């Protein structure tokens, strides 16, 4: 992340999740609401609650649209998004982790006192060092390691679901987000990467604070609170990276022993930057995916009980959620030089916001995209993990964790149903969207 100086934007807020994919309630029809794109606010309640009408209009009328409030060019069609992702020379990732809201001077001072400094490492790295660093990370998330990790995922999921069961028995309800979905990937990652001596709840808090500070619109007061947590996170990561006792075959050990293209050992700031990205992606965004998967499965008639035993259904449902409701909704790029995209001439330095959420609902690629159909033939053709050299290295692990989480929860708690409460609050950050609660009760009790 890069902390940009300057004044902050308006406060961030959470709003209820909408239940209808179209603003006029006519799911599946080719009807576009009357929406004025000059009123689009990617942080606004209308967009956060139900982004699909806006995304439909963008694809149909302005597939490459300059958003005045953020200064970003919104790219919403599948083919345009894919083209950008596959051409890192023309569309550089330099701004991928910049703070979307300029940070106040007091917040910057807090980060400076903590020594906060992240060099380009993975998602925002366009240098020659990227390929080697990516190989180090990918080695710990390849297919063989993920397959070997399934028993670990099942064990930890079972332990957390025992807590859910106790809450259901003792209180008549539980929140699958806080008790299960948000905690599961953190514990899995810490075990797989050999991280100990830290309370998982602390890592969750640090990770969430980082996302909010750099991808939200926190008030000046909130920025200070978040900066303290992000500073603590950075200091802890620095202590982990500089600990000479890290085993050579551990994730941190392999990272700090890595050599850059010029033969020099990787510097501390770059190693911390890689860890910063991996830990947040492996914890917060995977937890957001699991929460969305669980809530959607509970809302889909008949799917919850089928997912417990029907071979391949949990995996296919995860893919449909990734297509339609990915936790990572957007990603950023910078045009290296003047270029035409989607019929629009972009100047050199134009900053793009790739609407991953919108690309998964492009009717040119996905038939009846508003329908959740885990049996669709091109179910894995979405761009939610990116594409090309910057494709998410942890995609396989995230998919596996979400599928195992759904299958184990459905098997152990077959009577679960969504509590008849108001729609839950939703995370409303620039690049991240997910329900912040999945409240359930047990119909069998």
pLDDT at 1 over 70: no
pLDDT band at 8 (very low <50, low <70, confident <90, very high): very low
Q: Residue 247 — very low, low, confident or very high, per pLDDT cuts 50/70/90?
A: confident
Q: What is the pLDDT of residue 25?
A: 36
- The pLDDT mean for the chain works out to 91
pLDDT at 77 over 60: yes
Q: Residue 288's pLDDT band (boundaries 50, 70, 90)? A: very high
* Residue 19: per-residue pLDDT: 35
Q: What is the pLDDT of residues 384-435, one digit of tens each?
A: 999 999 999 999 999 999 999 999 999 999 999 999 877 889 999 999 999 9
Q: Indicate the pLDDT class of residue 35, thresholds 50, 70 and 90.
A: confident
Q: Above 70 in pLDDT, residue 31?
A: no
Residue in 315, 279, 322, 274 with CA at minimum distance from that of residue 187: 279
User: 3-class secondary structure for the chain?
Assistant: CECCECCCCCCCCCEECCCCCCCCCCCCCCCCCCCCHHHCCCCCHHHHHCCHHHHHHHHHHCCEEEECCCCEEEECCHHHHHHHHCCCCCEECCCCCECCCCECHHHHHHHHHCCCCCCCCCCCCCCCHHHHHHHHHHHCCCHHHHHHHHHHHHHHHHHHHHHHHHHHHHHCCEEHHHHHHCCHHHHHHHHHCCCCCCCHHHHHHHHHHHHHHHHCCCCHHHHHHHHHHHHHHHHHHHHHHCCCCCCCCCHHHHHHCCECCCCCECCHHHHHHHHHHHHHHHHHHHHHHHHHHHHHHHHCCCHHHHHCCCCCHHHHHHHHHHHHCCCECEEEEEECCCEEECCEEECCCCEEEEEHHHHCCCCCCCCCCCCCCCCCCCCCCCCCCCCHHHCCCCHHHHHHHHHHHHHHHHHHCCCEEECCCCCCEECCCCCECCECCCEEEECCC
φ, ψ for residue 393 (rounded to 5)? -70, -20
* In the chain, % of residues over pLDDT 70: 92
Query: How many other C-beta atoms are found inside a 10 Å radius of the C-beta of residue 245?
Result: 7
Nearest to 58 by CA among 354, 402, 349, 389: 354
Mean pLDDT confidence for 357-374: 96
**Closest to 93 (Cα-Cα) out of 397, 354, 382, 428:** 354
The pLDDT assigned to 30 comes to 52
- Checking if the pLDDT of 244 tops 70, the result is yes
In the structure encoding, which two tokens stand for residue 187, read together? Answer: 């514990």
Per-residue pLDDT band for 33 (boundaries 50, 70, 90) equals low
Q: Does 82 have pLDDT greater than 50?
A: yes
Question: Can you tell me the distance from the alpha carbon of 133 to that of 44, in angstroms, rounded to the nearest whole number?
Answer: 37
Residue 289 pLDDT exceeds 50: yes
| Inter-residue contact 265 to 258 (CB < 8 Å) | yes
Q: Is the pLDDT of residue 325 over 70?
A: yes
CA distance 240 to 224: 24
Structural domains for the chain: 15-442 (1.10.630.10)
Higher pLDDT: 24 or 109? It is 109
Regarding predicted confidence, which is higher, 206 or 32?
206
Q: What is the mean pLDDT of residues 319-327?
A: 97
pLDDT at 6: 37
pLDDT tens figures, 113-155: 999 988 899 999 999 999 999 999 999 999 999 999 999 999 9
pLDDT (0 to 100) of residue 102: 93
Q: Which pLDDT score is estimated for 29?
A: 47
Q: How far apart are CA 409 and CA 158, in angstroms?
A: 8
- Predicted TM-score (pTM) of this structure: 0.91
Does residue 306 contact residue 375 with C-beta atoms inside 8 Å?
no
Does the pLDDT value for residue 12 go beyond 60?
Answer: no
Span of 13-27, 117-131, 164-178, 320-334 with lowest mean pLDDT: 13-27
What is the rounded average pLDDT of the residues 366-385? 95
* pLDDT of amino acid 241: 93
**pLDDT confidence tier of residue 34, bands split at 50, 70 and 90:** low
pLDDT band at residue 254 under the 50/70/90 scheme: very high
């Amino acid at each position: 992340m890069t902390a940009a100086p300057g004044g902050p934007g308006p406060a961030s807020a959470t709003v209820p999740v909408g239940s209808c994919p179209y603003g006029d309630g006519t799911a599946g029809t080719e009807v576009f609401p009357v929406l004025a794109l000059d009123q689009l606010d990617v942080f606004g309640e209308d967009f956060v609650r139900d982004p699909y009408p806006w995304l439909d209009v963008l694809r149909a009328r302005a597939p490459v649209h300059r958003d005045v409030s953020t200064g970003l060019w919104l790219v919403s069609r599948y083919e345009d998004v894919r083209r950008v992702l596959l051409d890192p020379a023309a569309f550089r990732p330099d701004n991928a982790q910049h703070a979307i809201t300029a940070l106040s001077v007091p917040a910057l001072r807090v980060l400076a006192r903590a020594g906060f400094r992240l060099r380009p490492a993975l998602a925002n790295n366009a240098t020659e060092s990227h390929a080697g660093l990516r190989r180090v990370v990918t080695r710990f998330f390849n297919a063989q390691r993920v397959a070997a990790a399934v028993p670990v995922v099942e064990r930890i999921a079972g332990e957390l679901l025992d807590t859910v069961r106790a809450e259901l028995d003792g209180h008549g309800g539980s929140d699958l987000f806080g008790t299960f979905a948000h905690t599961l990937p953190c514990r899995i990652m810490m075990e797989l990467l050999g991280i100990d001596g830290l309370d998982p709840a602390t890592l969750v808090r640090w990770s969430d604070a980082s996302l909010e500070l750099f991808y939200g619109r926190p008030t000046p007061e909130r920025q200070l609170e978040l900066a303290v947590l992000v500073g603590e996170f950075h200091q802890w990561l620095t202590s982990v990276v500089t600990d000479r006792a890290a085993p050579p075959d551990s994730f941190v050990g392999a990272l700090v022993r890595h050599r850059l293209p010029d033969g020099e050992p990787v510097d501390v700031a770059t190693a911390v930057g890689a860890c910063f990205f991996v830990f947040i992606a492996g914890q917060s965004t995977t937890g957001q995916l699991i929460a969305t998967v669980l809530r959607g499965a509970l809302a889909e008639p008949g799917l919850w009980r089928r997912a417990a035993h029907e071979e391949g259904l949990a995996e296919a449902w995860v893919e449909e959620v990734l297509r339609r409701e990915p936790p990572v909704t957007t990603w950023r790029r910078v045009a290296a030089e003047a270029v035409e995209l989607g019929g629009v001439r972009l100047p050199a330095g134009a900053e793009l916001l790739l609407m991953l959420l919108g690309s998964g609902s492009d009717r040119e690629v996905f038939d009846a995209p508003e329908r959740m159909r885990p049996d669709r033939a091109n179910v894995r053709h979405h761009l939610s993990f990116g594409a090309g050299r910057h494709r998410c290295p942890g995609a396989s692990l995230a998919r596996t964790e979400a599928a195992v989480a759904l299958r184990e929860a459905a098997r152990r708690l077959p009577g679960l149903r969504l509590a008849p409460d108001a729609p839950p609050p939703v995370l409303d950050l620039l690049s991240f969207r997910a329900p912040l609660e999945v409240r359930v009760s047990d119909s069998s009790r």
